[in-house]
């Protein structure tokens, strides 16, 4: 299964002290070597921007060790394509965050499950989100 990690999930996974914030079901799926972990190319942009704005000071260690962290997480960076951009702009979803819109579109185009705590994604028709501690997948 392809898993696309939301930005906060990448941040928490990279910080071993914060790993406990990811519930057991999501942790198990992310740790399963049969699954492919994807990190969007927009994630370091979002982290860098929010860090620069002072909204995410805790991102500094991850930003300083980005490549090493991606390797340690056994993740693949998912580039942004024109198909992703077209869908992100056309999603019938009242949500203005361009980062979230792109993550939703990338997950849909790539047939990936979005790993995110953000229940706002559940309003996107055709998007699958994994998070809760019971292990269910929200559609």
Q: Which CATH topology does 2-128 take? A: Rossmann fold (3.40.50)
- Transcribe 5-16 into DSSP letters: E-HHHHHHHHSG
Question: Residue 134: what pLDDT?
Answer: 43
Contact of 7 with 106, CB cutoff 8 Å: no
Q: What is the pLDDT of residues 31-60, one digit of tens each?
A: 999 999 999 999 999 999 999 999 999 999
pTM for this entry: 0.92
CA distance 66 to 75: 11
Contact indicator for 120, 112 with CB cutoff of 8 Å: no
- pLDDT digits (tens), the chain, 139 positions: 999 999 999 999 998 778 888 999 999 999 999 999 999 999 999 999 999 999 999 999 999 999 999 999 999 999 999 999 999 999 999 998 999 999 999 999 999 999 999 999 999 999 999 998 544 444 4
Residue (of 18, 19, 23, 17) closest to 115 by Cα position: 23
- Cα 130 to Cα 3: distance, rounded to the nearest angstrom: 9
Q: What is the pLDDT of residue 50?
A: 97
């Amino acid at each position: 299964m392809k898993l696309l990690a939301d930005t906060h999930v990448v941040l928490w996974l990279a910080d071993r002290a914060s790993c406990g914030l990811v519930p057991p079901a999501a942790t198990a799926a992310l740790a399963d070597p049969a699954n492919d972990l994807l990190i969007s190319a927009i994630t370091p942009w979002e982290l860098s921007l929010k860090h620069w704005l002072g909204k995410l000071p805790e991102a500094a260690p991850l930003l300083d060790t980005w490549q090493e962290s991606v390797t340690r997480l056994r993740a693949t960076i998912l580039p942004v394509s024109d198909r992703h951009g077209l869908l992100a702009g056309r999603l019938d979803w009242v949500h203005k965050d361009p980062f979230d819109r792109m993550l939703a579109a990338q997950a849909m185009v790539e047939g990936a499950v979005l790993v995110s705590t953000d229940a706002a994604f559940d309003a996107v028709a055709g998007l699958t989100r994994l998070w809760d501690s019971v292990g269910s997948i929200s559609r």
